[in-house]
Amino acid sequence: MKNKCAFTNIEILINTIILGIVACISHYVYDLSGNKLIIGLFNPVNESVWEHLKLMFFPFLSWWIVIYLKKDKKCEIPLTIWIESAAVSLVAAPLSVVLLFYFYSGAFGIESVFIDILLAFIGYFIALCVASHFLKFSVPNKCAAIVSAVVIVIIFIAFIVFTINPPKLPIFSFKGK
């Protein structure tokens, strides 16, 4: 069954741009807040790859909730499908950024702020395409929705915990230390 309330190509492009701009602005929110912990839990507190994944997760999660509330009024997409789509997208965005970052920086030894910024837009684009596909073709499945909700909560908690107490692994480190 194809759902007609999924994202159009133009919605994907517009939302990719909006989310990318929000991510770019969010990059500086922690510093502008005077390094407040509550702000740092949801925005990067240093230049590590892990901290920058917050730019992919939290704006997308917030956006996803707003879009659900907006589209729910005119669409008949079950909440279970929205939750599954959110979980897959919230994994797809950061995962694509990590894979692409380590590919270009590790394989070619390149360091580029421009490419890093571009990766945020690419990650959002991939996530929105995945979300659109799920919204179009998924069927309601309570078990999958529960697992998806648990995945979202685990990732959310991981960002909070690893902001406060980051492991000594390369993805959590940055050159400033």
Name the pLDDT band for 177 (thresholds 50, 70, 90). very low
Dihedral sign for Cα atoms in the order 118, 48, 98, 160: negative
Q: Report the pLDDT value the prediction gives residue 75, as an integer from 0 to 100.
A: 78
Residue 103 DSSP code: I
pLDDT of residue 167: 92
Residue 1: the pLDDT is: 45
104-163, pLDDT tens digit by residue? Answer: 988 899 988 899 999 999 999 999 999 999 888 888 899 999 999 999 999 999 999 999
Give the integer Cα–Cα distance in Å for 24 and 121.
10
- Report the number of secondary-structure helices (H) and strands (E) in the chain: 8, 0
Burial class (CB in 10 A: 0-12, 13-18, 19+), 15: buried
Distance CA 135, CA 125 (A): 15
- Alpha-carbon distance of 110 to 20, in angstroms, equals 22
pLDDT of residue 175: 60
What is the pLDDT confidence band of residue 34, given thresholds at 50, 70 and 90?
very high
Question: What pLDDT band is residue 3 in, cutting at 50, 70 and 90?
Answer: low
Length of the chain: 177
In this predicted model, what pLDDT tens digit does every residue of 63-108 receive, in sequence order?
Answer: 999 988 887 667 778 889 999 999 999 999 999 999 999 999 888 9
